[in-house]
Amino acid sequence: MALRNLVGMTLAQLQQVAVENGMPLFTAKQMADWLYVKQVRSIDGMTNISLKHRAKLAENYEVGLAEPSHKAASADGTVKYLFPVQNGHYVEAVYIPDDDRATLCISSQVGCKMGCVFCMTGRQHYTASLTAGEILNQILSLPGKENLTNVVFMGMGEPLDNLENVLAVQEILTSAWGFGWSPKRITISTVGLRRELKQLIEGCECHIAVSLHAPTPEKRRELIPAEKAFSMTEMLEVLRRYDFSHQRRLSFEYTMFDGVNDSMDDARQLVKTLSGLSCRVNLIRFHAIPDSPLRPVSEQKMTEFRDWLTGHGVFATIRASRGEDIWAACGMLSTAKNEQSINNI
């Protein structure tokens, strides 16, 4: 029988493990401390738990961490890691250092159901949702994890399509018995699954980033087929019910494509679309992917677009482009690995 992983379990789940294995309830807090504070890699390392109880645990459980199998390092300091997950698949996590900050972009699924035409992960189609342990492993097995200041759920997959496990991970990251982070260190992205978006807003205090990428539903449908099922109009109605004017940040991700969504008419429509929302817009340079007709826009056009938005009441920034020399587009490295077209990075 395969051993179950302890990493990824919440305190309540660890309490259940303790009870089922005839251990005192307080042992769950000890396990959480070893897993998430001291970050041990074996049950034998949990030295304040009795030898008898450690032996009992080891019969059915393991810590469950897995080192990255490949990495690609950019000249700008960005590092993309490839992590093995269930059934021989791989997901990516990207480490992005920036002065006194270090952000890790993590994945929540193998592949994705949303089918965004500008995304390599979408081309993989959906294979599986990661367990909470597989998501958390991207942090715990990261070289240099002690330098992390922020985590963003913006890697492979749609986080809200795996909401139960994503919320479990954020509970572990923000609880006093876990990592003890402020929820403001975490951003969770989504294309806008309406019911799950409401659960996310009410279930945690993390920042929210919405993958918008177009100023109107019609244009968005051409880029994000999931718009047909998860309307941006309904999504915006949900967001307008909540207050984002204080510490919690609402942002909209807007990848710019030459001749598609980069005109001043698009800028005007975007201001109209986001009217009444306390938010920011992150303008993103498109990292070209193979066999795609989409092309990035010029630096000048991005600057003009940003300035027009900001001048008309919508604060906008241009996200710095990182890692373009290391299979930069999300999903490219794992696609290559799954297709066995690379052996080592």
Q: Which of 67, 92, 204, 234 is flagged as catalytic?
A: 92
In this structure, the dihedral spanned by the alpha carbons of residues 132, 115, 345 and 81, taken in order and rounded to 10 degrees, is -30
In 3D, which of 115, 78, 89 has the Cα closest to residue 334? 89
Distance (Å, rounded) from C-alpha 46 to C-alpha 57?
A: 11
In terms of Cα–Cα distance, which of 179, 154, 155, 157 is closest to 168? 179
Question: Could you give the CA distance from residue 213 to residue 261 in angstroms, rounded to a whole number?
Answer: 8
How far is 118 from 330, CA to CA, in rounded Å? 10
The answer to whether 7 and 136 have CB atoms below 8 angstroms apart is: yes
- What is each CA distance from 36 to 3, 140, 209, 288, in whole angstroms? 19, 8, 26, 38
- What is the amino acid identity at position 147? N
- Hunting for tokens 């493990």 — which residue is that? 17
| Nearest alpha carbon to residue 177 among 12, 4, 51, 6 | 12
Q: Which of 116, 204, 206, 330 is catalytic?
A: 330
Q: What string of DSSP letters covers 142-154?
A: -TTGGG--EEEE-
Q: Is 324 a catalytic residue?
A: no
Distance set, CA 196 to CA 164, 171, 201, 203, 235 (Å): 10, 17, 9, 10, 10
Q: Residue 211 — left, alpha, or beta (φ > 0 → left; ψ -120 to 50 → alpha)?
A: beta
Question: What does residue 86 show for φ and ψ, rounded to 5 degrees?
Answer: -55, 145
Please report where in the chains the tokens 């690995």 appear, as a residue: 337
Query: Do β-strands 70-73 and 109-110 pair in parallel, antiparallel, or remain unpaired?
Result: unpaired
Note if 218 is an active site residue. Answer: no
Catalytically active residues, by annotation: 92, 330
